[in-house]
Structures are given as C-alpha cells and as structure tokens.
Amino acid sequence: MYPSRFRYEAPRSIEEAIALLQQGGGEAKLLAGGQSLVPLLKLRFASPELLIDINNLPGLDYHKVDPDGTIRIGALCRHADLERSAILASRQPTMAAAAPLVADPIVRNRGTLVGSLCHADPQGDWASVVTALGGHVVAQGPNGRRKIPVSQFVTGPFQNALAYDEIAVEAVIPAPKGTVAGGYLKLERRVGDFATAGVAVAIERSGAVVTRAGIALTGVGSATIDATEAAKALVGSPLSAETIAQAAELAAGAAQPRTDHRGSAAYKRQIVRTFVERILTRVEQSSEKAG
Amino acid sequence: MTTQARDEIKIGGLGASRKRVEDNRFIRGKGNYVDDIVLPGMLHMEILRSPLAHARIVSIDTSKAWAIPGVRLVLTGEMMATRNLAWMPTLSYDTQAVLATDKVRFQGQEVACVIADDPYIAKDACEAIVVEYEALPVIVNPTQALADGAPLIRDDKENQHDNVVFDWEVGDRDGTERAFAQADLVSKLELHYPRSHPSPMECCGSIADFDRSTSKLTVYMTTQAPHIIRAAVALVAELPEHMIRIVSPDLGGGFGNKVPVYPGYVMSILASILLERPVKWIEDKTGNLISTGFARDIYLKGELALRKDGKILGVRMHTDSDHGAFFSDAQPSKFKIGLMHSAFSCYDIPSAHLTARGVYTNKAPGGVAYRCSFRVTEAMYFQERMVQAAADDLGMDQAEFRRRNFVRDDDFPHRTPFGFLTDSGQYGKCLQVGLEAIGYEDFLKQKEEAKSRGRLLGIGISTMTEPLGAGNSREYDILGIKMFDSAELRVHMTGKAILRTGAKTQGQGHETTWAQIVAHELGIPADDIVVEEGDTDTAPFGMGTYASRSTPVAGAAVAMVSRKVRAKARKLAAHLLEVSEEDIEWELGRFYVRSSPETGVSIQDCAYAAYSNMPDGMEPGLENVAYYDPPNLTWPFACYIATVEVDPQTGVWDVLRFVAVDDCGVRINPMVVEGQIMGGLTEAYAMASMQFITFDAQGNCIGSNYMDYLLPTAWETPGWELHEVVTPCPHHPIGAKGIGECATVGGPAAFVNAVLDAIKDTGVRNIDMPLLPDRVYEAITQRHDVSGAPPVKMDDHD
C-alpha cells in the first residue's frame, strides 16, 4: 500500500491525543482498529496530514457491566473481545448476536465497536445495534466529557457529531428495566461483505408485556435507520403474530433502500420485513417454551 | 518382479499421495515471488490508468510529475510511439495499446507511467500528471456494440468499420437444419455466462534488468509461459533471443491470468533499457482486476432438436462474445471462439452447427483465461444447462435423459458432433457412481416430502468432458508456434537427478508430481529428484502451463525422457553385468540378468558407471531431453451432482451436499488431484453464487476490489465429496489426462441446475449466474426468468 505522505503520532494519554487533534486542526485522523481507515488510506480516498494512533492509550480496551446493568465499551475494545464476551452472552442478546456477524474474523481481531460507530458507515452493524438499544457515546474534548445519544451521534453517511478535537472514548448501553431479548440478522453475499440489509431488534419485557422496543436497520439508507414506529407497535402488549407482522411491515416501510448490485430496493425491504419477523418470532417462541 | 524391486509407493512413484515438496517453503514464508526480488539500484514503476471507459485524449501534461524529486522517467503513449512501442500484437493477431495515444478504450487502460526511486514517489507523480479527456459514448455489451450507428471503438485499425471482431462458424449447417426439421420438440434456451476474473492472489509484476555491458536483458516476471514471452519480446522489442532471459519465479496462482503479455511488462522493459537500471513493476489488486485478462462474458442462443423418446437429434448454438477493447484471447490460432465446439462431446448427437460472433466493447481485454481451456468452461455450462432444460421440456428424468444420449463405452474412438475425436471414457458409469453416492432416488422422495411443508429442495446434475492438453501440433499453435512441450533429465553420479521442463507450475505441484513420474519410470526415489522450471536460460523450450496441458504434454515428455535415460542405463547395466543387453530385464529401479534374477544392478549403479566406468566408445554422462507432441488431446470426464435448499422468503440457497466423480485417467498423485478438484469446485461455486464483474452504463467496472469482487471463503464454501472412475488415456505414456480445470468447467451448471430444480414449480427456466439471492427471489416471486448481467442502477430509489 502506498498512501499519501502523512505524519504519524502515537500519544500515551488521552490528553496528549486531544492536544494533537487540536494541533491537526481538522486535518488529523484517529487510528484505532484501522479496519476502515487503512483501506481508505491505501486507496488514497483519505489523505490526512496527521495520523494519531490511539492504540497506546491505557485503559480503553475494556467492556464491563456496572452494578445497575449498564454496559460500557471502551474505545479500544475489539470486536473479537465482544464476540467472546461472557457478559454479552448472558446479558445482551442483540449485541451477542451481532458480534460474530461483524465483517470477518481478521477484521474482528483489530476493529473496534467505538471506531465502527465513529466511522458511521450506513452499512456498519454496531450503529444499528447501539441505536436499537438506545445507547450513547461518551466524547472527551479539551473541556471534558459529554454524552451523545447514538441517534444523534451518527449524523449522516460517514459523518458523526464529534468536534474535530474530541475523542469518542466509550459507548454505553443503558441498564435495562425489564428482561431483555432480541437479536441481529444480516444478509451478506459473503462473509466479510457489507450488509445487503441488516436488522437489530432489542426489547425489554415485564412479564409478557413489551415495555421497551428498539428496531434499527443496517444498509438500507444513507445512514443507520431508527425504525421508531415499528418499535412502538410492539410496546404495551405481549408479542403476538399480529404485532410482529405489524412491526415487520412498519420496519420495511421505514427502510430507504436503493437498488444496487446487492439487490433491488424492493428486495431489501423484503429482507428487512423477513428478518424483523424472524427475530421476533424466535423471541416469542423461546419465551413460550420458557413459560 | 524380484524381491529386490523397489516398492513404488515407498519411493514416491505413481499413485503415491506424496506431500507437496514446494509447500515446505511456502508454509514457512520462504517462497520467492517477483516482489521478493530486490536488485541493486532498482527503481519502481507505477501506472496511471484511465478513469473513463471511452474518451479521446486531448492532452497529457507530465511537467508536474517530472518536477517531483526522485522521479526518473515519465512515459506516455506519444513517447512509446517514437520507439514503435505504443501498440503491441496480441496472442490473437490483433493489436493492443501499451500506452494510449489517441484515445482510451476501457476504464483502467494504461495512460502513462512513472519510474521513480520508490513506489510512493512514483504514485505521487502519477497523481501529478494532468490528462484532459473528451468523453465519448460508451459500449458495455454486444447489443450496443452491434447497434446501428454504434460508435467505432477500434478506429485505429484500417478496414475496421464496425465493432465486430470475428464472425465464425463450425459444424454442419445443412445437416443440422434437416435434424431440426425432423424433431418432435425443439428446446430453446438463452444464457449469459457473466464476466469474471481469474484473480490470482499475487497480481502481475515484473523486474526488467537490462545490462548495457553485456547487452543482456533479464526479466523476472509473473508468467505461466516464459518461453512464449521470450519469443514475444524478441519479436516485439527486436532484441536477439539469446540475449533475453525470462525468469518466472514462484507464482502466487495464475489461473490463466498470467499467460498474456501486459503493457506493464513492456513498459518496465523499455524503462530499464532507457535508464540502464532494474525497474520493478508490481500491479495492485485494482489494477489486476480492472485491466488484465478477464474471463467469460458471452451470450448464447441454444437449441436442441429432440425426439419424443429423448434422443437428441441435433444442436444449434449461436454465441455473442464480448472481448473488450482488444482481442487478446490466448487460444489456438485457428479457432476464433476457442474450443466452444467441444460442447456436447460426451453426447451422441448426429449433427451440430455453431455460429460465433465476437465484438469489441469499452471493457478490459481478455476473454479466455480462468481455469478453463479456451472457452471450454462456457461450452460445458451451456451444454449442461441446455440438456437440463431439454429434459424438463420433455418431462423426462434428468439422469435418464443424459444416460440415453451418452456416447457408449464401446463407441470409442468417437467423432463428436463438431468433429473432435474422443478416445476413451465411461460416462454412464461416472453418472451411476454419482447418483448412488448422492442417493438419487431417496433425495427425490425427500424433496417431495419437503415440498409439502413449504421447503424447496433441488438436485442438479452436470457432466463435462474436456478437451485438455493443447495440443497436437497439427491443430494447435499460438501465433504459429506449435504446442508441444519438453523435459530434460540429468542424472548425477550418485543417482540423484535434476529435471527441467518447459511448463511452469503456479500451484499445480509440478515439483512434486514430475519427480513421481521419473520415480515410476526409473525407480529413483522422488525425494532424490529436484524439479526446476521457469528460467528460459536453463529450461528446454515449452509452451507453459495453462489449459490443463502440463500433465498431458510436459508430463508425457517427462515419461519419455526418463525412458530415453533408461535405455542408456540398460547399456551401462549390460556392461556392468557383463552380459548382452538382450539378456537383461528391467524392474522398478533395477536391471537384472534374466537367467539369474538375483544378479542385478540398481539404476544408481548405472548412474555411477556413466561417470566412472562406461564401456569403450560410449559417451559419458546420463542425461537426455525429450520433446513431446501428443497424438491427440486427452479427454477427462466428470459428473457433478449438487443438492440445495432455497429459502423462499429471501432467495438464499444453501448447498446440502455436493458429489464429484472425476475420471482423469491414471492419477499420479491422488492427493494433488483431489486438491485440484476441490479448488476447482470452489471456483465453480464462486461463479455460480457470487463472483462476477459487471459495469454500469458509463463503463465503470463494478468489481474492482475484493469488497466488490467476491471470492468465497472457507466459511461459505460447501464440503466436497469426491469419487473416482479411472479410464486410462490410451495415448498418454502413463495413461494420465488433464485435471486442473475439470471441476471449474463442469461445476457451475450443477449448482444452477439444482437451484432451478428447487423452484421448478414456478415455471422459471433460467436464472443467469451469479445466482445472487435477490435474483433467485425475483424469479420465485415474479415467476419469470432472470437474465443477463446483474443490473447496476445505483440511483434507482423506489
């Protein structure tokens, strides 16, 4: 690979990294997992003057759960850590379903969840998952930290809400109030391919009644789509064939797909409809079994 | 055989699944590829490619590139033209631009190149070159190319007034018409075999090193055919052939992509001559995918004349092939559409007629390569899709329909519908082995049962017989050079040996298997034989490795040179045993006295005597060379059967099982053969399911990197169940046939036939490859055929 010339810095602290970002004045890029940035550099689609490698920043490679059930994922936590996570396996089915579907094993070894959110690729899996879960990003800048709900964090294709001198240090999934269920399904032409369409579903229930629902769509719009109407259709009653069908239809309607070499717009809507239905039907059937 | 004869399997002879000796260095990361070679004073070359598919070049300003420190040379078409090198001949009697002078004719065409101290500088300098283009209308398919008033792509050629490359026919037009007149039923099918790319992991590259003091040009390069390159360089660059040395080191795959001469090679050679320094060019993945020899891209109109009882009376085919901007197929000179007319060779059909038209389009040149010899891949795909459709049209079982039309085992030699002479095969037996392995009758029941629960199961059969091993010199040549091959064997004093051939391994395992042939013929353990290929200064002349020709031609030469050496060893043995030659018998690794079998000498004893104790008057040494011109092609056969399940809600299909029955004659190394079959099947699955290159209306290549051009990984590749039938080749010295490409050739139709079988109730007769889920879903829900290259409509909101 022969990228354009750039300066390389590998700071040892967040403060130092922020200072470098300020120095860079908008012409600097952060390098975490590098699984999107490095291909862009290689193709010279991105030619930053300064590359700030944050892999040496201490204490950011965690994912952990607070006593109240809040899940926190540090900026250097790799997809592979989440794939193997006992925390997610026992507490967060939507994330646990998505983790092994992100890209391919090689990418998962290096790439990070927070980096994926920052990259804001409409075909990125994590943005949908965190949206469906109502999560937020913690950004740190020269003036301290602030919380940005993920629905406001991703502002467009490959655009996020960070100021040029801010670093996304953590993603946060709020503590659930009921029992959690959900899943993630993605159609890809081949492992490692971007999603033709992907669907994240996260629900919380009190007894059989759905108390909170989130549905978000991958790869069927110019940014991650938060299918709020579809989610609303589930809240306030137990899952049933009728509510599932209604949510699936609303989610398909919320999609804004384009016809391209991955399939026609109508086909992608069909995938969204089918996947919402499949995830929720699976949830319903497993709860019936448990009940 | 005496008790002292060598155990053939123990010495790694014929039939031994010997581990590949070349893997020892590959798995340690010690392979030596072109990009591993570093020469003192070496410079680096990068190519500037056209972003447009068809455009007139108004101007090229290289001044900013020249100004960058470290830039040594900037070449443009204009500069190449002053040395008569702006254009070069192709392997099909056409011309191809080395660097564009007048206009660019496909996206990715070479426009300029920069030679600099390092590749970063060269790349920066390419970006600093300013090219002004005037866009022209773009042609991306044969329909557009043949339309009235279509823009003329090859306005550089005298007497070229349209976009037609050739109009060719073969077969019996009148006889075929009579057959169709007698038919009870005519089964028609229109098919497209989409464009794909061989895509070896290692892209193309070269290091040209011209030494003014010796006048010698050495070129390390990624080529499957080093001697053809030497001849081409001698003819094009007008350099004396003995002053050209082509070295093809370890190759990271070829699949036919590394047969042609590419502009990058030519430019690196010219640059080295001008600068008198070694110049390295290493192509990047996008450059490889968008500019080098693609594969397929051909449309078929096919018809079979059928009798009610299932007998095929005649076949009619018309193909329109898309050759891109330059006709640069590598194929036998006399066959314009390669060996397309090898179609239906395994079926007993009285008459056949093929018309073929080739067209120029604004796409990259190529057209033959990719693990297929000369359009045979397309021929067999068309054949097996047509056969499947005909069986369905007749309402006949697909296995039975094939069985009724196969050439029978006692019918050889057999003249095929288009006039080839096949010599051996057990087609019915292969099919039977396959049907039993897959459990055909049981599956049909299972399928019906599944249908009642809304599940879609299907089974698809494909057979193929491939004319492999180009070729015999009467019919096969490239640019007039006859397609024989060669081997040179030198046995050292201690009985160890070096073998060189004119072939060039690129993953086929020659270093392992050639030694096994020598072991079989001479009884020298395979571990005692080193195999060397790819250096034109040391290897005997050969036509290289492609078209599954190495074992049929070079492999035969290896056997023949071993026999020549054995003939001399026999004389040495007679001398050592003090008997006459007539009184000597041979067994593996040993000559002995007929009347006294325990009295004998080993082949190693003979080798030592050749250097230390030869009889009076005998020339010392134990070595020889053999050139082998095969009497015919070899004709392997295969039967592939896939079972699939289609998800009606998404169009996603999964392979349940896949059975392959290959008859490639005698297997030299069964493990290597099985590896070839598995690799070939994986590529067949790739083309059936996901792997294609397409273009938008502006001629932008969709498939220019591995995010868009999909190669299957271990994750989605099905498991392969392999079986064998052995019908030795009657004319090959050890009875072997080609195998490298069979599975790629025969495999795709099995998958497509299986998916179509699963959705047969919809009435859909065809979905063109690749069978992407959205295309299958469209067929199921719209109940219509899905034809042509997948559309690219990037701006089509619903």
Span B653-686, pLDDT tens digits = 999 999 999 999 999 999 999 999 999 999 999 9
Does residue B692 contact residue B703 with C-beta atoms inside 8 Å? yes
Q: CA B60, CA A5: separation in Å to the nearest integer? A: 25
pLDDT tier at B479 (50, 70, 90 boundaries)?
confident
Q: What is the pLDDT of residue B792?
A: 62
Q: Is A258 on the interface with B (CB under 8 A)?
A: yes
Question: Residue holding tokens 């990197």?
Answer: B705
Taking an 8 Å cut-off on Cβ atoms, the answer to whether A259 and B694 are in contact is no
HSE value, Cβ hemisphere, 13 Å, CA-based, for B719: 3
- B206-218: average pLDDT: 97
Q: What is the pLDDT of residue B60?
A: 98
Q: Is position A40 within any domain?
A: yes
Q: CA B275, CA B291: separation in Å to the nearest integer? A: 26
Taking an 8 Å cut-off on Cβ atoms, the answer to whether B120 and A5 are in contact is yes
Residue B795 has pLDDT above 50, yes or no: no
Which 3 state secondary structure label does DSSP give B351?
Answer: strand
B23-31+485-628 to CATH, choices 2.60.40.1240, 3.40.50.1100, 3.30.365.10, 3.40.1190.20: 3.30.365.10
- The beta-carbon neighbor of B774 closest among A194, A256, A264 is A264
Strand partners for B797: A258
- Closest by CA to A10, choosing from A57, A49, A47, A42, is A57
* Structure token digits, residue B463: 């057979």
* Structure token digits, residue B774: 């959205």
Does residue B574 contact residue B535 with C-beta atoms inside 8 Å? no
Amino acid at B404: R
Nearest C-alpha of chain B: how many angstroms from A268?
8
Where among A173, A203, A222 does a domain terminate?
A173
Q: Is A8 on the interface with B (CB under 8 A)?
A: no
Where among A173, A201, A220 does a domain terminate?
A173
Comparing B46-60, B237-251, B321-335, B557-571, which segment has the lowest mean pLDDT?
A: B321-335
Fold exhibited by the domain B34-136+203-250+258-291: Aldehyde Oxidoreductase; domain 3 (3.90.1170)
What are the CB-based long-range contacts (under 8 Å, 24+) for A46-51?
A47/A3, A47/A4, A47/A6, A48/A6, A48/A24, A49/A6, A49/A7, A49/A24, A50/A6, A50/A7, A50/A8, A50/A9, A50/A20, A50/A23, A50/A24, A51/A6, A51/A7, A51/A8, A51/A9
A112 with A201, same domain: the answer is no
Taking an 8 Å cut-off on Cβ atoms, the answer to whether A271 and B794 are in contact is no
Q: What is the pLDDT of residue B3?
A: 77
Taking an 8 Å cut-off on Cβ atoms, the answer to whether B712 and A190 are in contact is yes
Residue B257 has pLDDT above 70, yes or no: yes
Taking an 8 Å cut-off on Cβ atoms, the answer to whether B792 and A261 are in contact is yes
Q: CA B295, CA B310: separation in Å to the nearest integer? A: 34
CATH 3.10.28.10 fits B377-469+632-782, yes or no: no
Residue B465 has pLDDT above 90, yes or no: yes
Q: Is position A58 within any domain?
A: no
Q: CA B364, CA A21: separation in Å to the nearest integer? A: 44
For residue B218, what are the CA distances in angstroms to A218, B245, B535, B731? 53, 5, 10, 38
Q: Is position A18 within any domain?
A: yes
Q: CA B148, CA A182: separation in Å to the nearest integer? A: 58
Q: What is the pLDDT of residue A125?
A: 97
Q: Is A257 on the interface with B (CB under 8 A)?
A: yes
Distance of CA B704 to the CA centre of its chain: 21
Strand partners for B796: A259
Q: Can the peptide bond before residue B350 be classed as cis, meaning omega within 30 degrees of 0?
A: no
- The beta-carbon neighbor of B798 closest among A190, A192, A265 is A265
Catalytic residues of B: 224, 371-372, 741
Q: Is A47 on the interface with B (CB under 8 A)?
A: no
Residue B89 has pLDDT above 70, yes or no: yes
A18 with A99, same domain: the answer is no
Q: Is position A247 within any domain?
A: yes
Does residue B466 contact residue B376 with C-beta atoms inside 8 Å? yes
Does residue B535 contact residue B498 with C-beta atoms inside 8 Å? no
Taking an 8 Å cut-off on Cβ atoms, the answer to whether A262 and B124 are in contact is no
Q: CA B699, CA B144: separation in Å to the nearest integer? A: 12
Q: CA B546, CA B568: separation in Å to the nearest integer? A: 33
Taking an 8 Å cut-off on Cβ atoms, the answer to whether B794 and A265 are in contact is no
Q: Can the peptide bond before residue B413 be classed as cis, meaning omega within 30 degrees of 0?
A: yes
Q: What is the pLDDT of residue A290?
A: 66
Residue B798 has pLDDT above 60, yes or no: no
Phi and psi torsions of B766, nearest 5°? -155, 140
* CATH assignment of the domain containing A223: 3.30.390.50
- The beta-carbon neighbor of B650 closest among A187, A192, A264 is A187
Does residue B683 contact residue B528 with C-beta atoms inside 8 Å? no
The Cβ of residue A191 has, within 10 Å, a number of other Cβ atoms equal to: 15
Q: Quote the Cα angle for B517-B511-B570, to 5°.
A: 35
Find the helix packing angle between B670-689 and B742-758, rounded to 10°.
40
Which of A194, A267, A270, A272 to probe the B interface (max B CBs under 10 A)?
Answer: A267
A252 with A192, same domain: the answer is yes
Does residue B548 contact residue B373 with C-beta atoms inside 8 Å? yes
List the beta strands (DSSP E) in B492-595: 497-501, 529-532, 584-587, 590-593
Residue B335 has pLDDT above 90, yes or no: no
Q: What is the pLDDT of residue B464?
A: 95
Counting one residue from A and one from B, how many pairs have CB atoms under 8 Å apart?
Answer: 79
The Cβ of residue B621 has, within 10 Å, a number of other Cβ atoms equal to: 15
Residue ranges of chain B assigned to CATH 3.90.1170.50: 34-136+203-250+258-291
pLDDT tier at B373 (50, 70, 90 boundaries)?
low
- B231-250: average pLDDT: 92
Whole-number percent of chain B with pLDDT over 70: 99
Please name the helix (run of DSSP H) or strand (run of DSSP E) that holds residue B89, with its range, or none: strand B87-89
- A154-160: average pLDDT: 92
Residue ranges of chain B assigned to CATH 3.30.365.10: 23-31+485-628, 377-469+632-782
pLDDT tier at A291 (50, 70, 90 boundaries)?
low
Residue B4 has pLDDT above 90, yes or no: no
Q: Which chain B residues are closer than 8 Å to A191 by Cβ?
A: 713, 715-716
Q: Going by C-beta distance under 8 Å and a sequence separation of 6 or more, which residues neighbour residue B265?
A: B204, B206, B208, B219, B221, B229, B281
Per-chain mean pLDDT for chain A: 96
pLDDT in tens, B685-722: 999 999 999 999 999 999 999 989 999 999 999 999 99
Q: Is position A56 within any domain?
A: no
Q: What is the pLDDT of residue B483?
A: 85
A265 with A196, same domain: the answer is yes
Residue B793 has pLDDT above 70, yes or no: no
Q: Quote the Cα angle for A208-A214-A218, to 5°.
A: 135
Q: Is A190 on the interface with B (CB under 8 A)?
A: yes
Task: Please give the tally of structural domains in chain A.
Answer: 3
Q: Going by C-beta distance under 8 Å and a sequence separation of 6 or more, which residues neighbour residue B767?
A: B752, B755, B756, B775, B776, B779, B785, B786, B787
Taking an 8 Å cut-off on Cβ atoms, the answer to whether A4 and B790 are in contact is no
Q: Which chain B residues are closer than 8 Å to A43 by Cβ?
A: 286, 705
Residue B1 has pLDDT above 80, yes or no: no
Q: Which chain A residues are closer than 8 Å to B127 by Cβ?
A: 44
Segments forming the whole domain that contains residue A86: 63-173
Q: Is position A131 within any domain?
A: yes
* Structure token digits, residue A189: 């032409």
Q: Is position A291 within any domain?
A: no
- Closest by CA to B748, choosing from B655, B645, B633, is B655
Q: CA B59, CA B219: separation in Å to the nearest integer? A: 32
A78 with A164, same domain: the answer is yes
* Structure token digits, residue B163: 């976009």
A78 with A160, same domain: the answer is yes
In the DSSP assignment, the letter for residue B730 is S
pLDDT in tens, A210-266: 999 999 999 999 999 999 999 999 999 999 999 999 999 999 999 999 998 889 999
* CATH assignment of the domain containing A21: 3.30.43
Q: Is position A1 within any domain?
A: no
A135 with A211, same domain: the answer is no
